[in-house]
């Protein structure tokens, strides 16, 4: 359940830096405007308490050095696609995450970046494992 006594709109993280983000797939380039959750505190908060996310919006979570990570949906009110990206910029795994589900969703291997976009958007755009995120934003280059 969402945190008690915290209206969703008041608990949502704001003011993060933004960047353009591109995924190249078999059917073309897909462009997103993403917020950058750069610090451990920003990453912990992520997209919690958001009530909506535009079709071409998202959030990225850079990791240096690359590491295995697991995401969950505590206090996350909207469905998300969680896209785990390897150090070579290829997509390792795409997970469809359900709102408020606290099951850990592991990357399965070391990743240097995680992209969260609106739930179902990856399938809608034809984004698949093995597709390439390039060029990486300055925050996320090895």
pLDDT of residue 10: 60
CA–CA separation, 90 and 130 (whole Å): 5
Is the distance from CB of 34 to CB of 19 less than 8 angstroms? yes
120 pLDDT exceeds 70?
yes
All structural domains of the chain: 8-140 (2.60.120.1140)
CA–CA separation, 134 and 142 (whole Å): 13
pLDDT of residue 76: 96
- pLDDT for 71-80, tens place per residue? 999 999 999 9
Q: What's the number of CA atoms in the CB half-sphere (13 Å) around residue 133?
A: 31
| Cα–Cα nearest to 108, from 142, 78, 72, 67 | 67
| Cα–Cα nearest to 36, from 56, 53, 12, 61 | 61
- pLDDT for 27-67, tens place per residue? 999 999 999 999 999 999 999 999 999 999 999 999 999 99
Q: What would the mean pLDDT of 113-142 be, rounded to a whole number?
A: 89
CA–CA separation, 6 and 79 (whole Å): 20
């Amino acid at each position: 359940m969402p945190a008690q006594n915290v209206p969703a709109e008041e608990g949502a993280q704001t003011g993060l830096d933004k960047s353009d983000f591109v995924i190249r797939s078999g059917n073309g380039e897909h462009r997103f405007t993403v917020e950058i959750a750069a610090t451990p505190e920003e990453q912990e908060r992520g997209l919690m308490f958001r009530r909506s996310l535009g079709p071409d919006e998202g959030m990225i979570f850079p990791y240096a050095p690359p590491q295995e990570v697991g995401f969950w949906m505590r206090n996350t009110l909207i469905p998300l696609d969680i896209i785990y990206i390897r150090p070579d910029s290829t997509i390792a795994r795409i997970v469809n995450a359900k709102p408020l589900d606290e099951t850990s969703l592991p990357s399965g291997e070391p990743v240097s970046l995680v992209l969260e976009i609106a739930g179902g958007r990856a399938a809608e755009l034809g984004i698949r494992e093995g597709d390439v995120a390039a060029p990486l934003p300055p925050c996320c280059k090895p």
